Amino acid sequence: MATQKEIQLPAPIYKGKMSLEEVIFKRRSQRYFAEQDLDWRQIGQLLWAAQGITARREGYNLRAAPSAGALYPMEIYVLNRNGLFHYLPLTHKLEILDDSDLRAELAEAALGQFSVAQAPVDIVICAVYQRLTKKYGQRGLRYAHIEAGHIAQNIHLEAVSLGLGSVPIGAFNDEIVKDILSLPQECEPLYIIPVGYIK
């Protein structure tokens, strides 16, 4: 395991080359990816769209996706050929967790879905339910799942804006994914999104 190292991601851009309407119109699930890596600028832009800071207020920060009570229960993990990373929204950095390429293992955990292994980047959306349930009780579970949808859609639309493709993956073995990512016990994987150039 790598020791507490971080990568500072390039600052996000706030105006793309396509309108929102064009991005929505062009979005499709893409399962075949070219063998071309994404650079840190592209990865950073995708992660900013997922959970990046969009405004700073005294005592709290607003993010790109809405969250019940602004409690932000989500944790975002990234896998590529260089390793496993954890997104740190407040500083727009990646925490390096492992320098092994774990995409093939993740694909096996996702019932053998080849796009997970083939994509240059896999983004995994995870939830820490207790951040919501301590305020909202069992209703917090629903809010977490709603939030995962907001985040995923932002990623899919940002991918199109960057000239990339993506596919939503919900079929996987939760416990094996947790083990591959070395997730804390309270952190539950909800969604895998492979992203890359379309083949």
What is the pLDDT at residue 57?
85
* In the chain, where the domains are located: 5-10+21-196
Q: Which two tokens stand for residue 186?
A: 């309270």
CATH assignment of 5-10+21-196? 3.40.109.10
Q: What are the tens digits of pLDDT across the range 84-94? A: 999 999 999 99
For the cut 60, the answer to whether the pLDDT of residue 3 exceeds it is: no
DSSP summary character for residue 10:
P
Residues 75-125 pLDDT 10s: 999 999 999 999 999 999 999 999 999 999 999 999 999 999 999 999 999
What angle separates helix 139-161 from helix 40-51, to the nearest 10 degrees? 150
pLDDT greater than 90 at residue 58: no
Kindly report which listed range (14-18, 54-58, 179-183) carries the lowest average pLDDT score: 54-58
Contacts of 179 (CB under 8 A, 6+ apart): none
Split at pLDDT 50, 70, 90, the class of 2 is very low
**How many residues appear in the chain?**
199
